[in-house]
């Protein structure tokens, strides 16, 4: 879809144009689908134009977002982009490092009668996963394990639970998690899921969050209180937070069912604030039908990376998966690992015996692949490419270094039948990737972090896109003067 030109006006508070303004205006998508053409312009004579600006990728509901420093941002009305026969042209990449940093995981450090009580295993598995951001409760703050995580470069966001909130307790938590000026606690988060835990939550939610902000004298950022159901946001008065938070669970479905509907529901509660999903994931308790449907381990290897990719494409700053370990008490391990009868016990990426599930492996490999190679220099740049037969193919383009891009592709289809609780077999979708002056190596994170060099026919390579993440690493050939 070509928007020629996209035009932005700068108005005064009274609503009149300011022809003399020459501020720089970057343009972005509220729900990212891929940007092509110029994405920044300087306002001249009252108008900033973006000739040739276009949107790459099919999305049902998009907004254009224009912002400039302290000037209030402008959000366009929603529009739709339909699929064509070719994906690509010139697309601005996202930073691979930014995607890696967008992944977090929940822990329960104080659940010492589960695998969380094995602090050595906890630290080892977080390091193996490659995640640097953990969400836990306030009780974990003054804890040697939390301090060990911080020393390993892992940062904590702490859900503060119910009031009253103590400024001195918060200050002690920060002091206990600071080393050489480096603070391990990166944020306080408001009370968890009041809309399902508090009968008077509608009247309590805003005062509770205000009390948390008032008690915070530590300078630590405060994130919004997450709702269990984004649809409940309409019942509350909007607030300002460092990040707005929510809990978008796919309920055993294709991860793309979440967006853009969930972000559209929650964003008005946190106007102008970036969003973070502080819980999202899948469980494996097949015998528990009381709440969300389960998926099997093999489907988790497909859905977990897709969940992270879809969330990043939807504009979320970070997604914290729920959770690292299965919550099975040591005395109950044999029973639960056999019966899978309690949903709350089986959300983990690692089972109660300390065995990494396939979803863990797929995430680890995805982050390893994107985190390797030369350090990225400067801002991400654009890549010119085309992808034929791209209908129903979702993608994310990231840049690892000056000459290395990763085009992550997956079929937007269901991989699990919730009714029969069986896997769905989806044949790979054949596409042709064309990029000039490059080599292509493919990776399948559910299988390995090792790549397979592809044979190019001219500037093209045929690929089969599965219903899971497939990474096409594109290395641009460089020429040297003689």
Instruction: List pLDDT tens digits, range 68-102.
Output: 555 556 666 555 554 433 555 799 999 999 999 99
Q: What percent of the chain shows pLDDT beyond 90?
A: 71
pLDDT class for 377, splitting at 50, 70, 90? low
- Residue 142 banded pLDDT, cuts 50, 70, 90: confident
Q: Tell me what pLDDT residue 290 has.
A: 85
- Of 402, 467, 405, 462, which is closest to residue 430 (Cα–Cα)? 462
Mean pLDDT of the chain: 86
Return the pLDDT at 272. 96
List where CATH 2.60.40.10 sits in the chain: 2-82
DSSP state of 235: G
Tell the CATH topology of 2-82: Immunoglobulin-like (2.60.40)
129 has a pLDDT exceeding 80: yes
Q: What is the DSSP letter of 457?
A: B
3-state secondary structure 337-403: HHHCCCHHHCCCCECCCCCECHHHHHHHHHHHHHHCCCCCCCCCCEEEEEEECCCCEEEEEEECCCC
Poorest-pLDDT segment among 69-73, 127-131, 199-203, 212-216: 69-73
Q: 135 burial class (0-12, 13-18, 19+ CB within 10 angstroms)?
A: buried
Where, residue-wise, is CATH 3.20.20.80 in the chain?
97-371
CATH 3.20.20.80 fits 97-371, yes or no: yes
Torsion of CA 369, 370, 376, 379, to 10 degrees: 160
Q: For the ranges 5-14, 172-181, 301-310, 461-470, which has the lowest average pLDDT? A: 5-14
Quick: pLDDT tens for 157-202: 999 999 999 999 999 999 999 987 788 999 999 999 999 999 999 9
Lowest mean pLDDT among 6-10, 170-174, 228-232, 339-343: 6-10
CA atoms of 101 and 78, how far apart (whole Å): 29
> Topology of 382-476 in CATH?
Immunoglobulin-like (2.60.40)
What value does the mean pLDDT take over residues 40-44? Answer: 53
Q: What is the pLDDT of residues 400-409, one digit of tens each?
A: 999 999 999 9
Span 58-62, average pLDDT: 50
């Amino acid at each position: 879809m070509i928007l020629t030109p996209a035009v932005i006006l700068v108005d005064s508070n009274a609503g009149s144009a300011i022809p003399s303004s020459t501020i720089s205006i970057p343009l972005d998508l509220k729900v990212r689908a891929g940007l092509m053409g110029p994405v920044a312009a300087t306002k001249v004579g009252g108008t900033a134009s973006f000739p040739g600006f276009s949107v790459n990728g099919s999305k049902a509901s998009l907004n254009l977002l224009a912002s400039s420093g302290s000037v209030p941002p402008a959000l366009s009305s929603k529009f739709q982009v339909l699929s064509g026969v070719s994906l690509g042209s010139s697309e601005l990449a996202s930073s691979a490092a930014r995607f890696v940093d967008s992944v977090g995981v929940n822990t329960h450090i104080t659940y010492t009668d589960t695998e969380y009580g094995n602090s050595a295993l906890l630290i080892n598995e977080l390091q193996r996963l490659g995640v640097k951001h953990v969400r836990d409760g306030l009780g974990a703050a003054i804890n040697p394990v939390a301090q060990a995580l911080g020393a390993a470069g892992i940062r904590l966001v702490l859900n503060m639970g119910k009031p009253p909130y103590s400024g001195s307790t918060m200050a002690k938590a920060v002091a206990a998690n600071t080393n050489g000026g480096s603070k391990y606690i990166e944020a306080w988060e408001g009370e968890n899921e009041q809309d399902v835990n508090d009968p008077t939550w509608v009247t309590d939610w805003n005062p509770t969050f205000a009390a948390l902000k008032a008690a915070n004298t530590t300078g630590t950022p405060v994130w919004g209180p997450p709702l269990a159901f984004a649809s409940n946001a309409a019942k509350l008065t909007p607030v300002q937070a460092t990040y707005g938070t929510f809990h978008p669970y796919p309920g055993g479905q294709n991860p793309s069912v979440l967006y853009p509907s969930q972000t559209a529901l929650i964003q008005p509660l946190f106007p102008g604030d970036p969003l973070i999903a502080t819980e999202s994931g899948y469980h494996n308790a097949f015998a528990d039908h009381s709440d969300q449907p389960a998926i099997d381990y093999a489907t988790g290897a497909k859905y977990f990376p897709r969940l992270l990719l879809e969330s990043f494409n939807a504009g979320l700053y970070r997604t914290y998966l729920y959770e690292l370990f299965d919550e099975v008490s040591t005395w109950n391990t044999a029973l639960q690992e056999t019966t899978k009868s309690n949903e709350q016990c089986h959300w983990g990426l690692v089972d109660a015996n300390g065995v990494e599930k396939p979803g863990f492996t797929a995430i680890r490999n995805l982050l390893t692949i994107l985190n390797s190679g030369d350090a990225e220099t400067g801002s991400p740049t654009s890549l010119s490419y085309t992808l034929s037969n791209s209908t129903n193919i979702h993608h994310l383009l990231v840049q690892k270094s000056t000459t290395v891009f990763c085009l992550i592709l997956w079929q937007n289809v269901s991989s699990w039948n919730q009714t029969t609780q069986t896997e769905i077999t989806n044949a790979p979708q054949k596409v042709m990737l064309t990029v000039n002056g490059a080599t292509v190596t493919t990776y399948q994170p559910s299988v390995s972090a090792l790549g397979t060099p592809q044979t190019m026919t001219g500037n093209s390579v045929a690929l089969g896109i599965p219903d899971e993440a497939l990474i096409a690493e594109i290395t641009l050939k460089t020429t040297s003067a003689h």
